[in-house]
Amino acid sequence: MTRLPEAVILLTGSELLDGRVRDRNGYFLSASLAEHGFRVATEIFAGDDERLIAAGLKQLLDLHPAVLVVCGGLGTTHDDLTTAVVAVVLGRRLWQDPDALRMVEERTRAVCERRGVDPETVMTQTHQQALLPAGSRVVPPAGLAPGYILSERETTVVVLPGVPTELEAMWPDVIAELAASGVAPKTQRRVVRIYGVGEMQVVPALEGVAHERVEIGVTAQLGEIAVSMTYVDEPEALGEADAIVAKLAADLPVFSTDGRSVDEIVAETLRSRAQTVSAAESCTGGLLAARFTDRPGSSDYFVGAVVTYANEAKLRLLGVPAQTLREHGAVSAETATAMAERARQATGATFGLATTGIAGPSGGSADKPVGLVFVSCAGPEGTTVRRTILPGNREAVRAATVTAALHLLRESLAP
Amino acid sequence: MTRLPEAVILLTGSELLDGRVRDRNGYFLSASLAEHGFRVATEIFAGDDERLIAAGLKQLLDLHPAVLVVCGGLGTTHDDLTTAVVAVVLGRRLWQDPDALRMVEERTRAVCERRGVDPETVMTQTHQQALLPAGSRVVPPAGLAPGYILSERETTVVVLPGVPTELEAMWPDVIAELAASGVAPKTQRRVVRIYGVGEMQVVPALEGVAHERVEIGVTAQLGEIAVSMTYVDEPEALGEADAIVAKLAADLPVFSTDGRSVDEIVAETLRSRAQTVSAAESCTGGLLAARFTDRPGSSDYFVGAVVTYANEAKLRLLGVPAQTLREHGAVSAETATAMAERARQATGATFGLATTGIAGPSGGSADKPVGLVFVSCAGPEGTTVRRTILPGNREAVRAATVTAALHLLRESLAP
């Protein structure tokens, strides 16, 4: 395909490198840049140290990217070194940008008023955030620190604060400027989702179809496969993408050709039909309910759940017959069925969805190994139960069971 | 303090740079290296491209670190380039290591047997994974690909596969070798945990006490503060660390001086007393149950939960009196109390733990703003309820509510 322009990212902050804080900005920025048609080539995390930040910056500039995003270290404490290093590496003097100064003063007054502090006591300190390398265009701040954009030969350098909520609030302005100045390519992105096959089975389906103008990414996660297509907005590329989607849908169990997740499909279907669902969870222990309730407004269609982790709870909270548990065990098609049906009856929901399985690490046997899972869906037209053996550790088995339950519900909802 | 040796990390894989996969290895490796006494200076993510991997590798070697960990790109497909690039950059020839070859063959046979595939059809391809740069010590594989360790001037270079479960299974061998060869410093690490104050209140407590020999890290997460201390194993540093712990415990609501999390404290206390807990969740929607059941063996003390997300479920599943809901609303001390007490009665558990609140983004009012949360704990000695207003978005409010509920249970369990 038309080669995508390259983007690179430099993230500063020692807290990202000692296990204290898990990165969020790098993931956000790289995903957004990819979505807007850039190929993210390299991402560097540098500790708060001039030498490390300068080394990272120089290496990234040496790759001659179209865009270099630098984030973090724009505050007012001794370890906020980013702007000074940028100025030195790019050979630009620092000057007090009047636009930036006005914004910093406004924001400082607003924050001080909210906290009941006299702004004059902190103004000298916050003024430092208006010292920018010469030639910068200011990105208005979401917190106290403005960001800035400057052109350095073929590279557009974007510098932003590292507080994730601030960075995410300021980012749309940056994307708009990259689009307006023609740095960001005009691309389309499409995602096809597949459930029930492995990555190995996707590759052959892609082999028989042209994709010279479409950049394809295949990701496997918890039994689902996502095939993403990025392409320049032109008829030939669009035609190729359409052919790829059609080929995948013909060969494989594709459940989404418009990027919608199984969560979205289930939520929209239930809401449009004014139907509801409740859950009975054993091995997933609350994760299925948590995934439903992760969506704002989910109380429209999600009634509630019973987490019957101990066998006693299956009897007392859910009323699973003692005989079923005794004869078939907690991890069985019969118990899963009873759980789904009891959840439906107890809550009056349209559908009851149940999980039971052996998440490990212990509790497995030759007969019922770790990873053995039953999911069941009870609805107006009867009850379906599905047996599967899931790979991976406790966390992976639990997460994949939640996904399996959602897909069983999606299939039960299919017209 | 004695300056800690530096470590750096190179992670390869285009899927980490386009939003497909969120990094896990970098976070795992940096946290573990920090815990073992290294200062992690820089982490680079490079796309699957010789030019990018070589540039990252060279920049990291130029920092002259004690340890360089490279991960990803050891498989057998066309984008697995790591070993070839390492060999070129370090100027070493590739040779078929007999130990590695034996391990690869053994693992290939085992995997093929499980999948019912003839091993000879894939053996030539997998043999490639035994081609190592001259002078490597093999790290036995957890999947198919072995890792390797080699010495390059002052730097120990460690190369590992990028599949997180494989990397994490192989890592203890690497740490053991770094310790045995004297590359890893002999350090101690201690973590003090505090609940109920902000990071701003921790800094003054640290100011009055010497910490020349102790490296301190302060992390705030969901209302908890963790103060980590890393120091070389010697009496003076140990004395300083003891003094810091004593000062923090005197000034602040410290709940753990031995690194144990609130989850561990609650689990161990319940198990040692043969007591149990059940939950009734509204705004946390299953996350509290999921956090309990995240621990293997939690069925010893966690009976189950009722997720009453819709009001109807509070009535039907839990039997909260309609009058309580009508008069006080779902988000009230009265409803929280009734939920905790009903959860306890319905399950026969020693304790009933309940959450109700407004996680947002909508649903708030002047009277009951987004972030208003009630947690309640019912036990043999009565019921406690706590009101709090939590900051942040939906995800943050839900997660912090789970933590608040666990701390209320911990306090109810305190001797």
Mean pLDDT of chain B: 92
B388 SS3 class: strand
Q: Read off the pLDDT of residues A253-311 as tens digits, 9 standing for 90 and up.
A: 999 999 999 999 999 999 999 999 999 999 999 999 999 999 999 999 999 999 998 88
B64 reaches A (C-beta below 8 A): no
**Over residues A319-343, mean pLDDT:** 96
> Start-end ranges of CATH 3.90.950.20 in chain A?
262-413
Say whether pLDDT at B313 is over 90.
Answer: no
pLDDT at B228 over 80: yes
Amino acid at B18: D
Six-digit token pair at B66?
């004690």
Residue B44's DSSP bridge partners are A44, B10
Q: Number of CB pairs < 8 Å for A and B?
A: 243
Q: Which residues of A touch B312 (CB under 8 A)?
A: 303, 347-348
Which residue is closest to B61 within chain A, CA to CA? Answer: A55
> Residue A266 in contact with residue A195, Cβ under 8 Å?
no
Amino acid residing at B358:
I
Residue predicted with more confidence, A313 or A152: A152
In this structure, of A109-118, A153-162, B307-316, the range with the lowest mean pLDDT score is A109-118
How many other β-carbons are positioned within 10 Å of the β-carbon of residue B415? 3
Identify whether B361 is preceded by a cis peptide bond (ω within 30 of 0): yes
- In chain A, which residues have their Cβ closer than 8 Å to the Cβ of B263? none
Over range A406-415, report the average pLDDT: 94
Would an 8 Å CB–CB cutoff place A185 in contact with chain B?
A: no
Which of A4, A11, A12, A17 should one mutate to test binding to chain B, selecting the residue with the greatest count of B CBs within 10 A?
A: A17
- Write out chain A residues lying below 8 Å of B346, CB-based: 316-317
Residue of chain A with shortest Cα separation from B221: A21
Non-local (6+) Cβ contacts of B217 within 8 A are A15, A18, A20, B227, B228, B230
Place of tokens 């303090």: B1
Fold topology of A262-413: Maf protein (3.90.950)
Q: Are B350 and B277 in contact (CB under 8 A)?
A: yes
Please give the full DSSP string across A108-163, using - where no structure is assigned.
Answer: HHHHHHHHT--THHHHHHHHGGGEEETTPEEE--SSS--EEEEEETTEEEEEE-S-
Residue B1 has pLDDT above 50, yes or no: no
Residue with the two structure tokens 């009903």: B342
CB contact under 8 A, A292 and B310: no
Instruction: Find the mean pLDDT for residues B143-156.
Output: 95
Dump pLDDT digits (tens) for B254-268: 999 999 999 999 999
CA A324 to chain centre: 40
Choose the closest CB to B40 out of A17, A43, A362: A17
Name which of A42, A277, A316 to mutate to probe chain B: the one with the most chain B Cβ atoms within 10 A of its Cβ: A42
Residue found by looking up tokens 């034996």 in the block = B102
Backbone angles phi, psi at A156, to 5 degrees: -90, 115
Domain B6-180: give its CATH code: 3.40.980.10
Stretch 23-42 of chain A: residues touching chain B, C-beta under 8 Å: 23, 26-27, 30-32, 34-35, 39-42
pLDDT of residue A18: 85
Bridge partners (DSSP) listed for residue B136: none
Whether A30 and B16 lie within 8 Å, measured CB to CB: yes
Mean pLDDT, residues A209-237 taken together: 86
Locate the chain A residue with the closest alpha carbon to B280: A306
Is the pLDDT at A194 greater than 90, yes or no?
yes
Minimal Cα distance from B166: which residue of A? A392
Give the pLDDT score at A85: 97
**Residue B191: is its pLDDT beyond 90?**
yes
CATH code for residues A187-256: 3.30.70.2860
For the stretch B380-401, pLDDT in tens is: 999 999 999 998 889 889 999 9
Over 70: is that where the pLDDT of A1 sits? no
In chain B, residues 335-394 whose CB comes closer than 8 Å to chain A: 346-348, 360-362, 394
Q: What residues have CB less than 8 Å from A415, skipping those under 6 apart?
A: none
Q: Mean of the pLDDT values across residues B202-224?
A: 83
Q: Give the pLDDT confidence score for residue A83 in this predicted structure.
A: 96
Which ranges in chain B are annotated with CATH 3.40.980.10? 6-180
Minimum CA–CA partner of A391 in chain B: B165
Q: Are A158 and A70 in contact (CB under 8 A)?
A: yes
Q: Residue B2: what pLDDT?
A: 54
Average pLDDT over residues A345-366: 94
Above 50 in pLDDT, residue A169?
A: yes
Give the Cα separation of A186 and A179 in Å (integer).
8
pLDDT tens digit string along A20-48? Answer: 788 999 999 999 999 898 999 999 999 99
B23 and A21 within 8 Å at the Cβ level: the answer is no
Residue A92's pLDDT band, with cuts at 50, 70 and 90, is: very high
Overall average pLDDT of the A109-133 stretch? 85
ipTM: 0.85
Domain(s) of CATH 3.30.70.2860: residues in chain A: 187-256
CB atoms A304 and B302 under 8 Å: no
Distance set, CA A96 to CA A75, A127, A131, A133, B18 (Å): 15, 8, 4, 9, 36
Q: Does A278 touch chain B (CB under 8 A)?
A: yes
Q: Does the beta carbon of A44 lie under 8 angstroms from any beta carbon of chain B?
A: yes
CA distance A324 to A341: 13
Q: Which residue of B has its CA nearest to A346?
A: B317
Percent of chain A with pLDDT over 70: 100
To 5 degrees, how large is the angle CA A186–CA A190–CA A195? 165
